[in-house]
Structure 1
Amino acid sequence: MSTTSRNDNNYTATEDQTPHQQQQQQLNRKKLSPQMLRRFDSLDLESRHFHSQNHHASKNGGNWWVVLQLAFQSIGVVYGDIGTSPLYVYSSTFTNGIKHNDDILGVLSLILYTITLLPLVKYVFIVLRANDNGNGGTFAMYSLICRYAKVGLIPSEEAADEDVSNFQLELPNNRMRRASILKSKLENSRFAKFFLLLATMLGTSMVIGDGVLTPCISVLSAVGGIKEATSAMTEGRIVWVSVAILVGLFTFQRFGTDKVGYTFAPVIFIWFAFIAGIGVFNFVKYDPTVVKAINPAYIIDYFRRNKKDAWISLGGIVLATTGTEALFADVGHFNVRSIQISMCTVTYPALILAYTGQASYLRKHHLDVPETFYKSIPDPVYWPMFVVAVLAAIIASQAMISGTFSIIQQSLSLGCFPRVKIVHTSTKYEGQVYIPEINYLLMLACVAVTVGFRTTAKIGNAYGIAVVFVMTLTSSFLVLIMIMIWKTNILLVIAYVLVIGSAELLYLSSVLYKFDQGGYLPLAFAMVLMFIMFVWNNVYRKKYHFELEHKVSPAEVKGIVTDTNSSRMPGLAVFYSELVHGIPPIFKHYVANVPALHSVLVFVSIKSLPISKVPVEERFLFRRVRPNDLNVFRCVVRYGYTDVRNEQEPFERILVERLKGFIREDFMFSAVAKDNEESPEKDEQIVDDNSAIEKNEGGKHVEHTMKQQEAMERDIEMLDKAWRAGVVHLVGEHEVIAGKGAGIGKRILIDYAYHFLKRNLRQSNKVFDIPHKRMLKVGMTYEL
């Protein structure tokens, strides 16, 4: 006699048992109460009307060997930008030369405390904790807030969403009234909801703008260094060599972060070893007393002596933190622990030693400040260091390119960016993605900026604005998360705002001073990207509300299906939609023009949850349209913003298998619910053996059970026959136009801007890999 073990339920079934007995035993092993047997139709009602009783802890961790591998990779991907900042920080700070010897100590003190406060304390130890199940960036923080405070502008929440494993967050308790008050204010203010969304779009756009500027300035700096080695390199040649390198760099992205990281990591690791070693050499040789800069009093003296010039110089000092946002944006390519390890053991010590060594050198060589980095290199290692510096400066752009891919993926899934193709480049590490369209658009933008500006001067002015602006927005979101979700002590929140928030605002005021000297560039990029995001999201929301207002009720579906004028033919029809609460109006439009329906109908709603991943076993949520003999089902397919949508296995195969499982579970659920209604006292019992089950199976109950069993097998057989007869995928081809009487602004937004984006984007059948031979597009016009 063979046995089949079910570890999840500590359950053993034998071949002697009937299928019903096995199913009954599996269910009755659990304590079934009337509350557990209540089934709300969560596909019609929003989650804010219910309170979930399940709480799941988020997972974070992993094999240490994998963590160390990711830490090594992150050196090449994340820290190229911040790692190469010693090339230009002192020269950008002392633009008018060094006027007082102690000014070097003041600037060094500012650099040390800035790197410690912002990249290390803020990002590595605080902001990285605000990741969304391992994913970072502005949209990750926004998704956390949306999940907790219901501030999303699309009413697609469901009660069942809260049962997804990584959806749950800790709810506020009575002792934390502050969190509840802030949550209530956000939920009840439409202005606050719009403001949060726009701030998220702005932050995301600034990071993408930084992703354009970083390759330009890094490559131009690298090739400009070659000019010192040979006089044959004119400005024109430097520009075109830079363009060639940029094209090669973006072409290399298609191989994925995994291969890029392993390729670049050794170079950046050698770079950090070199700058740390040279820093120690200069510190010992020239002026070890610069260690006094640890005293913040030198910062006060520096501002007292230089006043406005000291304030303006902050725009150069903040360049020591360029690329810091990549720590957070790229965490999805790696993980929190790997970023923390690589930052604390390699990057931070190397940068501190490098800046300290350069300060020691400058104390004895004031006139060398325009070329501080190369002048401070000892002669024996000058040429090896030059080669590594060129390579490192080129690699520096990788951090923001990878970060751009991550945040585009997030914004796409949350309905804030047009559909583009997401390619997961690593089967070994989750979260490593490549987006072909965005990659080539970034490449074209970088080439245009390089050819247009030709020098690093104006690009350098733009650099600081992009970096500090995103830092400030990140801090704003973080304060919301600290109060509402983490429920941090208010004194710690105030301390964060006073120390880190004040420092960021001071730096922001300084970099904005150079707005007209190239600082407008990242804001120009951000405005273009925000316009694209706003257009797409605005029409996306309007279209959803239109479908919600004109949805077909289950009663109407029953009337349509049972209509004598409509015939049923063999086959399975899958209707695709983004509407969650109900059946889209396009179904009624289809029946009005084609009065024939397939034997089994499945209305599939594709939904993105504000979480990074949805476990495969929790992805499909089914409901039946009653009565059962209609063979009409509703299904919500839930994805996180890092999930792959076009699986290797055909979507329809997974859908059919999951639907069969739902039919079986629905039968089991109904059977046990009926048993609980007939025998209330059984609710509080745990049945452990077959004799207890057999006792309750007699007479009419056995007859009813057999009928239920036959009905279940009949439904599954009907589904199998429909699938064998053929599957037709019906995709709505929505023509969206501005309604009658709409203003000029609305017409431009919908009829021109949105249509332009839609015409140049992938259609849903390409995103979900729907076979062309079995796809039918149903056209319908939405007047918004």
Structure 2
Amino acid sequence: MCILQEMTWSVILTLAFQSIGVVYGDLGTSPLYVFSSTFPNGIKDKDDILGVLSLILYTVTLIPLIKYVLIVLQANDNGDGGTFALYSLLCRHAKISLIPSQQEEDSNVSNFKLEVPSRRLKMASTLKSALENSHFAKVFLLFATMLGTSMVIGDGVLTPCISDMIVWISVAILIVLFIIQRFGTDKVGYSFAPILCIWFLFIGVIGMYNFIKFDPMVIKAINPRYIVDYFIRNKKEAWISLGGVILCITGAEALFADVGHFTVRSIQISTCTIVYPSVVLAYIGQASFLRKHADLVADTFFKSIPRPIYWPMFVVAVLASIIASQSLISATFSIIQQSLSLGCFPRVKVVHTSSKYEGQVYIPEVNFILMLACVGVTLAFRTTTKIGNALGIAVVFVMTLTSSFLVLIMIMIWKTHILLIISYVLIIGSMELLYLSSVLYKFDQGGYLPVAFATLMMAIMFVWNDVYRRKYYYEVEQKISPQKFKQIADDRKFCHIPGLAIFYSELVHGIPPIFNHYLANVPALHSVLVFVSIRHLPISKVPMEERLLFRRVEPKELNVFRCVARYGYTDLYNVQEPFEELLVKKLKEFLKDGCFIPQQTSNNGEVFEKQEELNDGLVDNENEFVDIQQELMEAEVQLEAIDKAWSSGVIHLIGENEVIAAKGSGIAKRILIDYAYNFLKSNLRQRGELFEIPRKRMLKVGMTYEL
């Protein structure tokens, strides 16, 4: 997603060019193997070619073009796509998150607001109420989101493996491909785009040449009657062959998942002007060739290349096959970043690879694991047939889940007319279900692979998210009350030392229980203390000026503050300036602004600012007046205290909690918390590493949570 608020056409066209090198490799190289996969036992009737071509044309038109490019891309979350983007839209419109994602103060974040039509439909409100009141529905939606994400990651593992049939060459190519990922989408896109532009030009021109030379009458495959005749003639065999036809749209889900690396408009332009016409011409040309050479179906693509350009096309085809996996690799980085920020994936390092485009990211740990998985699958299967069967299941499963989420968005958010929703379900939804039934038939022929991989990913996500939620509710129940904090402040045994202390926790409201544990061992309070909690909102971005939300904690003279640092799932830490510098700057702005805004004390002992600002300095209350001069003087004292504390030194207190199952817990809960979660946590990055806190000024405070 570009950081420019209003992009020029030059930027959009630049991104459209880059997207060709990243998004369409898999979709664009499908003509290499679709006809051979659809007719593994040869062509029995030449009219079957027309039936399959008709299936391909309608599939490529309805799913990648109409469904994804024209409809699904509109369901992006502030420029980001993927399963979690759809889930986040639903979470913002309805209270369906298992952890509260809608706090009163978050309503002021500009990106959190949804623009919806003023006309409310009864169906939308009924569905919204049903989802909000059903715990099963909330769990099921989160489960489906995780499953869809896991399947896309599985697709990212399988796609590179199908690029080449020579095993050891494939392994070498895969390793090189994953090594260059660290250079980022920007450079990879510029490097790969020229090659794929040549590829699309070649397959389009060759397709047109074959169409004119061999059998121009294949154009009558536009008539869907040939699909019906194909099924009547071949019955079960025709249904099974759908597993080969579906390969014509592998990579289509990357159109949506990769939109965060580019823009909606740039992907629409590149698809409609270059990719779709070239791919359609390629399939029409191959069908025309097969009408005269049905016996060459096993090697349709290369046999249909005119001899004078065979070797140049062969070289371009090999290069395009290598690039084919890029779309799903980039998509994997995007969706894992989203799931990470929403508490559904263990902590990993996210590297921002472009200073111009914020959505372009790289995750080293995930890249390494993907490389090992791809090499392992390639060495284990050694043929593309089984990998193709597995790929089909991953592709169709993700597409079906996307359609399910899209229908909910159509009803609840877009308020789409019921006839349009029914049309979508009957045409596109039924087509995807038909394809899904076909690919599941080959479950034992390699189709089990994405299911096994998705199960492993789901287990990791479930373990992390389940304990993440348990910790959240434990801290809410055990947090320090306002009365308890006042007792601590009045206790004379606590000494006051100079400096600014930043205490990190995951608790959004109130003071975390780990602070009481800290005071029991270190009876000292710094001159300025800020409790910082990191809050991940179910949106892609939070504007920098709305990032930090401050509150005072009584008593006022202690200079204790609460700060909620709000991030969207594509926001990165410490991009523009170190976090502590940003925090001090925004804290001082908060105090300055507070001079002119009356204060109220909430029922949890914190002081917050009213939003109204009066021109004459009077409070909007007939019985209360504010002495502006007094407020200014108090603010100056506090600002001076912050500057003095800042100059005395900053210490970062990291709350590190060890979690164990509570006494009396069942064996399943003990395995979940004591072994599975703690194993993941011990092998992953800690919070201090994510914020890049200097180790010399970092102090970890440990506490055991019995969940």
TM-score category by the smaller chain? Answer: over 0.9
The residue that corresponds to 1:118 in the other structure is 63
Is the contact between residue 501 and residue 650 of structure 2 (CA under 8 Å) also seen in structure 1? yes
Separation in structure 2 between the aligned mates of residue 59 and residue 727 of structure 1, nearest angstrom: 34
Report whether the alignment pairs 1:751 with 2:674. Answer: yes
Is the contact between residue 656 and residue 703 of structure 2 (CA under 8 Å) also seen in structure 1? yes
Separation in structure 2 between the aligned mates of residue 763 and residue 722 of structure 1, nearest angstrom: 27
Separation in structure 1 between the aligned mates of residue 149 and residue 267 of structure 2, nearest angstrom: 21
* 1:206-355 equivalent positions in 2, closer than 5 A: 206-218=151-163, 220=164, 224=165, 238-355=166-283
Is the contact between residue 421 and residue 436 of structure 1 (CA under 8 Å) also seen in structure 2? yes
Is the contact between residue 734 and residue 781 of structure 1 (CA under 8 Å) also seen in structure 2? yes
- Given candidates 613, 628, 637, the residue that maps to 1:705 is 628
Instruction: Give the Å deviation of 1:684.
Output: 12
Is the contact between residue 92 and residue 101 of structure 2 (CA under 8 Å) also seen in structure 1? no
The residue that corresponds to 2:586 in the other structure is 658
Instruction: Give the Å deviation of 1:461.
Output: 0.8
**Aligned partner of residue 276 in structure 1, secondary structure:** helix
Report whether the alignment pairs 1:721 with 2:641. Answer: no
The residue that corresponds to 2:284 in the other structure is 356
Task: Pick closer, same or farther for the CA change 1:598–1:387 going to 2, 3 Å.
Answer: same
Separation in structure 2 between the aligned mates of residue 399 and residue 656 of structure 1, nearest angstrom: 41
Q: TM-score, normalised by structure 2?
A: 0.95
Task: Pick closer, same or farther for the CA change 1:669–1:213 going to 2, 3 Å.
Answer: same
Q: Deviations over 1:134-161 (max 9, x none)?
A: 0000001001111110111112532111
Report whether the alignment pairs 1:570 with 2:515. Answer: no
- Given candidates 389, 396, 420, the residue that maps to 2:324 is 396
Task: Pick closer, same or farther for the CA change 1:310–1:555 going to 2, 3 Å.
Answer: same
Instruction: Give the Å deviation of 1:630.
Output: 2.0
Q: Deviations over 1:703-762 (max 9, x none)?
A: x33222211100111111111111111111101000001111111111111111011101
Bigger shift: residues 535-544 or 620-629: 620-629
- Given candidates 511, 525, 535, the residue that maps to 1:607 is 535
Instruction: Give the Å deviation of 1:163.
Output: 1.0
* 1:247-646 equivalent positions in 2, closer than 5 A: 247-646=175-574
Structure 2: gaps spanning 5 or more residues: 602-610, 619-623
Separation in structure 2 between the aligned mates of residue 209 and residue 632 of structure 1, nearest angstrom: 47
**Aligned partner of residue 669 in structure 1, secondary structure:** coil
**Aligned partner of residue 394 in structure 1, secondary structure:** helix
The residue that corresponds to 1:188 in the other structure is 133
**Aligned partner of residue 769 in structure 1, secondary structure:** coil
Instruction: Give the Å deviation of 1:171.
Output: 5.3
Separation in structure 2 between the aligned mates of residue 69 and residue 450 of structure 1, nearest angstrom: 35
Separation in structure 2 between the aligned mates of residue 174 and residue 365 of structure 1, nearest angstrom: 58
Is the contact between residue 25 and residue 324 of structure 2 (CA under 8 Å) also seen in structure 1? yes
Is the contact between residue 154 and residue 453 of structure 2 (CA under 8 Å) also seen in structure 1? yes
Task: Pick closer, same or farther for the CA change 1:471–1:206 going to 2, 3 Å.
Answer: same
**Aligned partner of residue 42 in structure 2, secondary structure:** coil
Task: Pick closer, same or farther for the CA change 1:89–1:164 going to 2, 3 Å.
Answer: same
Separation in structure 1 between the aligned mates of residue 657 and residue 73 of structure 2, nearest angstrom: 40
Task: Pick closer, same or farther for the CA change 1:335–1:589 going to 2, 3 Å.
Answer: same
Is the contact between residue 352 and residue 362 of structure 2 (CA under 8 Å) also seen in structure 1? yes
Instruction: Give the Å deviation of 1:525.
Output: 0.7
The residue that corresponds to 1:155 in the other structure is 100
Task: Pick closer, same or farther for the CA change 1:113–1:156 going to 2, 3 Å.
Answer: closer
Separation in structure 2 between the aligned mates of residue 641 and residue 466 of structure 1, nearest angstrom: 24
Task: Pick closer, same or farther for the CA change 1:684–1:603 going to 2, 3 Å.
Answer: closer
**Aligned partner of residue 569 in structure 1, secondary structure:** strand
Instruction: Give the Å deviation of 1:450.
Output: 0.8
**Aligned partner of residue 582 in structure 1, secondary structure:** coil
Q: TM-score, normalised by structure 1?
A: 0.86
Separation in structure 1 between the aligned mates of residue 655 and residue 614 of structure 2, nearest angstrom: 49
Q: Deviations over 1:436-485 (max 9, x none)?
A: 00000000001111111111111011010000000000000000000000
Separation in structure 2 between the aligned mates of residue 261 and residue 508 of structure 1, nearest angstrom: 32
Separation in structure 2 between the aligned mates of residue 438 and residue 333 of structure 1, nearest angstrom: 17
**4+ residue segments displaced more than 6 Å:** 683-686
Is the contact between residue 646 and residue 767 of structure 1 (CA under 8 Å) also seen in structure 2? no
Separation in structure 2 between the aligned mates of residue 317 and residue 340 of structure 1, nearest angstrom: 24
Separation in structure 1 between the aligned mates of residue 599 and residue 343 of structure 2, nearest angstrom: 40
The residue that corresponds to 2:24 in the other structure is 79
The size of the alignment, in residue pairs, is 692
Report whether the alignment pairs 1:169 with 2:92. Answer: no
* 1:12-27 equivalent positions in 2, closer than 5 A: none
Is the contact between residue 156 and residue 581 of structure 1 (CA under 8 Å) also seen in structure 2? no
Separation in structure 1 between the aligned mates of residue 96 and residue 462 of structure 2, nearest angstrom: 17
Q: Deviations over 1:113-144 (max 9, x none)?
A: 00000000000000000000000000010011
Task: Pick closer, same or farther for the CA change 1:693–1:560 going to 2, 3 Å.
Answer: closer
**Seq. identity, %:** 71
Separation in structure 1 between the aligned mates of residue 600 and residue 487 of structure 2, nearest angstrom: 30
- Given candidates 111, 124, 133, the residue that maps to 2:78 is 133
Q: Deviations over 1:395-414 (max 9, x none)?
A: 00000000000000000000
**Aligned partner of residue 442 in structure 2, secondary structure:** helix
Instruction: Give the Å deviation of 1:600.
Output: 1.1
Corresponding letter in the other structure for 1:427: S
Report whether the alignment pairs 1:103 with 2:31. Answer: no
- Given candidates 202, 205, 221, the residue that maps to 2:150 is 205
Report whether the alignment pairs 1:668 with 2:588. Answer: no
Task: Pick closer, same or farther for the CA change 1:59–1:166 going to 2, 3 Å.
Answer: farther
**Aligned partner of residue 334 in structure 2, secondary structure:** helix
The residue that corresponds to 2:607 in the other structure is none
Separation in structure 2 between the aligned mates of residue 741 and residue 171 of structure 1, nearest angstrom: 49
Instruction: Give the Å deviation of 1:554.
Output: 2.3
Instruction: Give the Å deviation of 1:61.
Output: 5.5
**Aligned partner of residue 597 in structure 2, secondary structure:** helix
Instruction: Give the Å deviation of 1:239.
Output: 1.6
Is the contact between residue 352 and residue 361 of structure 2 (CA under 8 Å) also seen in structure 1? yes
RMSD after superposition? 2.0
Task: Pick closer, same or farther for the CA change 1:370–1:272 going to 2, 3 Å.
Answer: same
**Aligned partner of residue 624 in structure 1, secondary structure:** strand
Report whether the alignment pairs 1:776 with 2:704. Answer: no
Task: Pick closer, same or farther for the CA change 1:174–1:69 going to 2, 3 Å.
Answer: closer
Instruction: Give the Å deviation of 1:649.
Output: 2.2
